A and B are shown apart, each in its own frame.
Chain A
Amino acid sequence: MLAAQPQLPLNTGPYDRWISPDGRTVASFHRESSGLRLRFYEQADFLLDLVREAADCIPVPGIAVETLEALHANAIVPLLANYRGGHALHGSAVAIGEAIVAFTGLSRSGKSTLAGAFAAAGYPYLSEDALLIEPCAQGHELMPARPGLRLFADSAEHLGTAMHAELPHRDTPGPLAALLLLDTQEPPKPVLERLEPATALVGLLQHAFILDVEDRARLQAHFGRIGELAETVPCYRLDYRRNYAQLPDVIALVAGEFA
């Protein structure tokens, strides 16, 4: 980590941005002579050396170390993993018996809340913000992230802050049984339906960690990898009302399908 500095205006405009559902720029991606700079506003800049495939962090003054660690684990690590040819998606994952079920979706679509709710119901979570998926002899396995759920205040209150630290976490990889793409139509009753691979591919691409959207060779390879994932891992659409009272029904529906 480098010395803390205020985030001064940059000389280059961004070639990509991460935008929150309410339209704020969460992060911007810039090219520099030494590599790429990812700016997480009011948090930190990460300087990415693509030769070393490593990142240096320049925090803003006063930012908590835990925030920087979360940014590194949930953004930089998956971005570099995808850059190296791996599978990295925005999402969370839980263990239902030996089956690992992953949820992927847009920001604020309920990924972390689902992981917390499943964990509170006795299904350990493996990750809450980023999915690192690796090929294995049996298909694909999901790598665990470090323990810790970052919940919005309302979700944390629902799950109980005292229980938050005690939620079961699985720290070993496991076979990826299914990828559930979170939809936000919010039907009256929870819906879980199988997706055709082509539909799943288009959905999964929206949730992938892409470091350089202008690197066509890597984009082509990434497109192929996500297609292979959509073809080999069963993919489903999961939709439900974002109402805490619905979560037990969602858990019963998903657990019943994959237990």
Chain B
Amino acid sequence: MTEAAERYQLSSDAMCKRLGDEIVILDLASGTYFGLNDVGGRVWELIGNEICETSAICAALAEEYDVGQNELEADVTALLADLVARKLIFTAA
């Protein structure tokens, strides 16, 4: 049996605002601000639009950016892990 892919959702404590190429996130739980660059911001927006699995996020980004598949998957996986560690996103049940 294949293990179900992890799905992510944005923390309800996180407020965000896109400003040009960046997204600014305010985490109400910690009172801390975070900035995401253009690609990181797209990942954030995709999760917000319920494109929540790593593979789906990578597929969407591959259509928008000229980047190799391996590099893209590594970068997205690292970003998702960082966002989870900072409690800005959670793995959905």
In contact, A201 and B15 (Cβ under 8 angstroms) = no
B15 contacts which chain A residues (CB < 8 A)? Answer: 219-220, 223
Looking at A64-72, A131-139, A159-167, A224-232, the stretch in contact with chain B turns out to be: A224-232
Please, how many angstroms separate the alpha-carbon atoms of A198 and B23 in the complex? 7
Is the contact region of chain A dominated by helix, strand, or loop, or is it mixed?
A: helix
User: Are B28's CB and A202's CB within 8 A?
Assistant: no
Contact string against A for B residues 23-38, beta-carbon threshold 8 Å, 1 for contact and 0 otherwise: 0101010000101000
Name the one of A198, A219, A224 contacting B28, with C-beta atoms under 8 angstroms: A219
Q: Is the CB of A227 within 8 A of B33?
A: no
- B24 A201 Cβ-Cβ under 8 A: yes
Whether A227 lies near B28 (C-beta < 8 A) is: no
User: Is B68 positioned at the interface, with any CB of A under 8 Å from its CB?
Assistant: no
* Contact, CB under 8 Å: B20 / A197: yes
Kindly list chain A residues whose C-beta atoms are within 8 Å of the C-beta of B28: 216, 219
Contact: A227 with B17, CB < 8 Å?
yes
Point out the residues of chain B lying under 8 angstroms from A227, CB to CB.
Answer: 17, 19, 24
| CB of B73 closer than 8 Å to a CB of A | no
The size of the chain B interface, using a CB distance under 8 A, is: 10
CA distance A202 to B27 in the complex (A): 12
Is A205's beta carbon under 8 Å from chain B?
yes
Which chain A residues (207-241) contact chain B, with CB distance < 8 Å? 216, 219-220, 223-224, 227, 230-231
Given contacts A202-B33, A219-B28, contact A196 B17 (CB under 8 A): no
Contact in complex: B24, A196 (CB < 8 Å): no
Closest chain A CB from B35 CB (angstroms): 6
A159 vs chain B, min Cβ distance (A): 36
CB-CB contacts below 8 Å: B1-50 with A: 15, 17, 19-20, 22, 24, 26, 28, 33, 35
